[in-house]
């Protein structure tokens, strides 16, 4: 690809593929620094319109923006479907209709709350990563791919979680990935690059200028709380944060299904609660053993009950971030069978939120959107030279009992060296019994057998065998730039009127920049992001020298998810 082709006028000449090019790292880093300055200015101006945008020029709904009492007690629930584009919704909806024999008009719960769409680009690329995507929601500003709660110049930016906590709200994070992963991290920590997960864990527990800002944590990710000597641990230092947090008497801790169950659906929670239910990610819903790991909906129920109980007699309610984190992973893996189940698990969690809102007498608003699409998923695929058929096969996804990731690990761990035995294992056990595929070709079996010792490759091979039969297409193992949907619901008439305004920086109906979602949450509350930004400038946020990773290496790491 020529340089000129990579240069986009939209990005002021910045190379779009800068973080992938290994050749001219220095040049790229310089151009990155230069652009940081330009983009800081741009981001600044993006933020300004909130104060002078009341004149309704852009074809939004008519009349003055509805007045919302910012100081009135409310609950704000931010929900993120990581990596879910419109095609994921369509696939999951059709899959469920097929599986459960439902009518054409039987839609997902989310479908009933669609109000708009979000443009997702970051300050450094038209294709965002989750870090910049979540920072757009949390700080209401555009930053670079890899940025966790920091501005384009990598200085910390106040987040909506922190701002609301400082106003007396209780706060929570509920995810299915590592709690130190990009989305939850961007609300609760400040680091230059998403790969600094050791430092993210420290910030999340309160080791930074503001002290502890999070009251409830539920998700995976013990890894960056345990030292690498401890089973499942991966901290570079010797600290055991889980032990420290308990010994300090600051956090109550749950680390397995049995102690999660003792939370009694949220009625027996002592805040602050640190719930880390897996070393890394909680398994895909399609693979999940419910005796070992709770569903996202169960986690959400605990969080909603605990936070609403704890704020019953307070002046302020709570802020809760909920993420369907692994829709994104299924996209990266190009795994349609896992993804439709992830979307359905999220939809069940969303239904819990709707139920909560309907039953709550506190003004509560939930906004659900994605940071970006992952996989370039399409529910159609040309599988032969001939004119393509207009169809795709949800039954193929229903026939598969596990994720490609799970099956790749199963083959890898079986460590069968005898070729004949391996062939039989792959055909009978994996393809037929687990994936429900009987008409595999010898070439397909060969590509599985050949990759048996390489689970990373294996999972792509298996997922492609399945996707091909389902006639589901993928264009990338990374992210795409398509607009993503915004869903929202509230029990407050005024909030509802504001939410449904199309006006930029007023409502979220119609098409919006992702940063407007953060700005919306700020505008309905007494949160002051700029003030928080001033308070956290002394936060340690850059990688330590001794880590000896260059900025480019961090970036290379960062674009992965
Ligand atoms: C979907 O899969 C389930 C579980 O294997 C099976 O019981 C059910 O019959 C399948 N549904 C359809 C419509 O084929
Ligand atoms: C525990 O307390 C010590 C001493 O006050 C403090 O330095 C440390 O950050 C605390 N650790 C955690 C995980 O809260
Ligand atoms: C509540 O939690 C405590 C531990 O914090 C546990 O000992 C107790 O059994 C729990 N109660 C219920 C009803 O699960
Ligand atoms: C396997 O069977 C399915 C339908 O049962 C069909 O759509 C597909 O084309 C077949 N694939 C091969 C490689 O024969
Ligand atoms: C692994 O799978 C790929 C993709 O199907 C195939 O091209 C390759 O030959 C297989 N074997 C190895 C050892 O990579
Ligand atoms: Zn993401």
Convert the pLDDT of each residue in 254-298 to its tens digit: 999 999 999 999 999 999 999 999 999 999 999 999 999 999 999
| pLDDT surpassing 70 at residue 464 | yes
Could you give the number of structural domains in the chain? 2
- CA–CA separation, 83 and 369 (whole Å): 10
Q: Find the length of the chain.
A: 561
Q: Supply the pTM of this predicted model.
A: 0.89
Q: Is 90 a catalytic residue?
A: no
Given 440, 470, 500, which residue is the final one in a domain?
Answer: 470
- CA–CA separation, 76 and 365 (whole Å): 5
**81 known ligand binder:** no
Question: Is residue 308 located within the same domain as residue 400?
Answer: no
Determine the pLDDT at residue 202.
Answer: 98
Determine the pLDDT at residue 66.
Answer: 75
Question: Is residue 261 located within the same domain as residue 165?
Answer: yes
Our answer on whether the CB atom of 99 is closer than 6 Å to any ligand 1 atom is yes
Question: 132-145, pLDDT tens digit by residue?
Answer: 999 999 999 999 99
Question: Is residue 304 located within the same domain as residue 405?
Answer: no
pLDDT tier at 249 (50, 70, 90 boundaries)? confident
Any domain includes 416: yes
Question: Is residue 165 located within the same domain as residue 292?
Answer: yes
Q: What residues contact residue 115 under an 8 Å CB cut-off, 6+ apart?
A: 486, 487, 488, 499, 500, 508, 509
**Substitution candidate for ligand 5 out of 444, 447, 453, 477 with most atoms within 8 A of CB:** 447
Selected residue with higher pLDDT from 552 and 79: 79
Apex 544 CA angle, 539 and 548, nearest 5: 155
* Alpha-carbon dihedral 527, 354, 141, 323, rounded to 10 degrees: 120
- Expressed in angstroms and rounded, the spacing between residue 334 Cα and the centre of ligand 4 is 19
CB 30 within 8 A of CB 146: no
The overall average pLDDT reported for the chain is 89
**% of the chain residues with pLDDT over 90:** 83
Determine the pLDDT at residue 545.
Answer: 59
How many CA atoms does the CB half-sphere of 382 hold within 13 Å? 5
Our answer on whether the CB atom of 50 is closer than 6 Å to any ligand 1 atom is no
Question: Is residue 357 located within the same domain as residue 227?
Answer: yes
Apex 329 CA angle, 225 and 220, nearest 5: 25
Catalytic-labelled residue, pool 130, 325, 368, 523: 130
Question: Is residue 347 located within the same domain as residue 401?
Answer: no
| DSSP 8-state assignment for residue 15 | B
Q: What values do phi and psi take at 414, rounded to 5?
A: -65, -25
Any domain includes 511: no
The range of the structural domain enclosing residue 456 comes to 394-470
- CA–CA separation, 106 and 521 (whole Å): 31
Which string of DSSP letters, residue by residue, matches 430-495? Answer: IIIIIT------HHHHHHHHHTTT-HHHHHHHHHHHHHHHHT-B---SSEE---EEEEEEES-HHH
Question: Is residue 128 located within the same domain as residue 189?
Answer: yes
Bridge pairing between strands 479-480 and 114-119:
unpaired
- Expressed in angstroms and rounded, the spacing between residue 324 Cα and the centre of ligand 1 is 25
Given 470, 502, 523, which residue is the final one in a domain?
Answer: 470
Any domain includes 1: no
Any domain includes 32: no
First to last CA, the chain: 24
Given 470, 502, 529, which residue is the final one in a domain?
Answer: 470
**Substitution candidate for ligand 3 out of 253, 258, 262, 275 with most atoms within 8 A of CB:** 262
**203 known ligand binder:** no
Any domain includes 436: yes
Question: 280-292, pLDDT tens digit by residue?
Answer: 999 999 999 999 9
Question: Is residue 203 located within the same domain as residue 286?
Answer: yes
- Expressed in angstroms and rounded, the spacing between residue 335 Cα and the centre of ligand 4 is 18
Question: Is residue 148 located within the same domain as residue 258?
Answer: yes
Question: Is residue 109 located within the same domain as residue 191?
Answer: yes
| Protein residue with its CA nearest to atom 6 in ligand 4 | 469
Q: What values do phi and psi take at 349, rounded to 5?
A: -65, -40
State mean pLDDT over 391-405: 98
pLDDT tier at 38 (50, 70, 90 boundaries)? low
Determine the pLDDT at residue 146.
Answer: 97
- Expressed in angstroms and rounded, the spacing between residue 252 Cα and the centre of ligand 3 is 12
Question: 440-459, pLDDT tens digit by residue?
Answer: 999 999 999 999 999 999 99
Residue 369: beta bridge partners? Answer: 80, 486
- CA–CA separation, 299 and 57 (whole Å): 43
Counting beta carbons within 10 angstroms of the beta carbon of residue 453, is it exposed (0 to 12), middle (13 to 18) or buried (19 or more)?
Answer: exposed
- CA–CA separation, 150 and 189 (whole Å): 9
Residue 484: beta bridge partners? Answer: 118
**183 known ligand binder:** yes
Closest CA to 181 of 79, 329, 77: 329
Which atom number of ligand 2 is nearest to the Cα of residue 202? 13
Q: What are the distances in angstroms from CA 18 to CA 127, 290, 340, 375, 543?
A: 12, 43, 33, 20, 21
Which strands, in side-by-side order, build the sheet including 318-324? 252-254, 273-276, 216-220, 170-178, 318-324, 74-81, 363-369, 484-490, 114-119, 510-513
CB 314 within 8 A of CB 73: yes
Residue 7: beta bridge partners? Answer: 15
- CA–CA separation, 424 and 190 (whole Å): 51
Question: 158-174, pLDDT tens digit by residue?
Answer: 999 999 999 999 999 99
Selected residue with higher pLDDT from 561 and 21: 561
Q: Which helix or strand (DSSP H or E) is residue 227 part of?
A: none
| pLDDT surpassing 80 at residue 429 | yes
Selected residue with higher pLDDT from 56 and 541: 541
Determine the pLDDT at residue 63.
Answer: 59
Any domain includes 268: yes
| pLDDT surpassing 90 at residue 345 | yes
Residues with CB under 6 A from ligand 4: 439, 441, 469
CATH number at residue 214: 3.40.720.10
Determine the pLDDT at residue 364.
Answer: 98
Question: 52-76, pLDDT tens digit by residue?
Answer: 333 333 444 455 667 899 999 999 9
Any domain includes 532: no
Question: Is residue 199 located within the same domain as residue 134?
Answer: yes
Determine the pLDDT at residue 54.
Answer: 39
Question: 323-332, pLDDT tens digit by residue?
Answer: 999 999 999 9
Question: Is residue 208 located within the same domain as residue 352?
Answer: yes
- CA–CA separation, 543 and 198 (whole Å): 10
Determine the pLDDT at residue 16.
Answer: 29
């Amino acid at each position: 690809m020529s340089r000129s082709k990579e240069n986009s006028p939209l990005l002021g000449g910045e190379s779009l593929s800068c973080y992938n090019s290994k050749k001219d790292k220095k040049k790229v880093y310089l151009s990155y620094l230069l652009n940081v300055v330009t983009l800081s200015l741009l981001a600044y101006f993006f933020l300004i319109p909130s104060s002078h945008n009341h004149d309704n020029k852009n074809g939004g709904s008519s009349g003055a923006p509805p007045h919302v009492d910012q100081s009135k007690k409310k609950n704000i629930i931010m929900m993120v479907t990581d990596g879910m584009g419109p095609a994921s919704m369509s696939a999951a909806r059709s899959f469920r209709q097929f599986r459960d024999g439902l009518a054409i008009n039987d839609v997902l719960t989310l479908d009933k709350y669609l109000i708009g769409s979000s443009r997702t680009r970051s300050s450094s690329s038209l294709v965002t990563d989750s870090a910049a995507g979540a920072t757009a929601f949390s700080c209401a500003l555009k930053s670079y791919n890899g940025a966790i709660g920091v501005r384009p110049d990598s200085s910390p930016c106040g987040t909506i979680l922190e701002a609301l906590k400082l106003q007396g709200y209780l706060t929570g994070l509920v995810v299915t990935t590592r709690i130190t992963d990009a989305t939850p991290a961007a609300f609760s920590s400040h680091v230059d690059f998403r790969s600094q997960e050791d430092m993210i864990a420290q910030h999340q527990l309160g080791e930074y200028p503001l002290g502890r800002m999070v009251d409830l944590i539920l998700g995976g990710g013990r890894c960056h709380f345990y030292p690498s000597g401890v089973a499942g641990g991966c901290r570079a230092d010797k600290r055991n944060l889980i032990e420290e947090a308990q010994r300090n008497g600051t956090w109550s801790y749950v680390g397995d299904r049995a102690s999660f169950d003792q939370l009694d659906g949220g009625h027996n929670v002592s805040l602050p609660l640190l719930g880390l239910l897996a070393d890394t990610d909680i398994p895909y819903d399609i693979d999940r053993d419910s005796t070992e790991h709770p569903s996202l909906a169960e986690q959400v129920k605990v969080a909603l009950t605990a936070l609403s109980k704890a704020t019953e007699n307070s002046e302020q309610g709570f802020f809760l971030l909920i993420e369907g984190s692994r829709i994104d992973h299924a996209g990266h893996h190009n795994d349609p069978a896992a993804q439709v189940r992830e979307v359905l698990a999220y939809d069940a969690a969303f239904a819990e939120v709707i139920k909560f809102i309907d039953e709550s007498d506190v003004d509560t608003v939930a906004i659900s959107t994605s940071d970006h699409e992952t996989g370039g998923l399409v529910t159609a695929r040309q599988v032969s030279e001939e004119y393509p058929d207009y169809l795709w096969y949800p039954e193929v996804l229903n026939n598969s009992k596990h994720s490609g990731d799970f099956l790749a690990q199963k083959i890898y761990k079986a460590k069968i060296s005898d070729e004949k035995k391996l062939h039989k294992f792959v055909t009978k056990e994996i393809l037929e019994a687990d994936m429900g595929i009987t008409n595999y070709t010898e070439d397909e079996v060969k590509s599985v057998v050949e990759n048996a010792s390489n689970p990373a490759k294996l999972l792509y091979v298996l997922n492609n065998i399945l996707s091909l039969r389902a006639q589901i297409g993928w264009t990338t193992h990374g992210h795409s730039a398509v607009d993503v949907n915004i869903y929202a619901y509230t029990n407050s008439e005024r909030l509802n009127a504001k939410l449904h305004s199309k006006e930029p920086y007023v409502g979220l109906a119609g098409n919006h920049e992702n940063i407007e979602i953060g700005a919306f949450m700020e505008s309905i509350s007494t949160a002051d992001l700029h003030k928080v930004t001033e308070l956290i400038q002394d936060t340690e946020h850059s990688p330590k020298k001794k880590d000896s990773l260059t900025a480019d290496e961090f970036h290379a790491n960062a674009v992965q998810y």
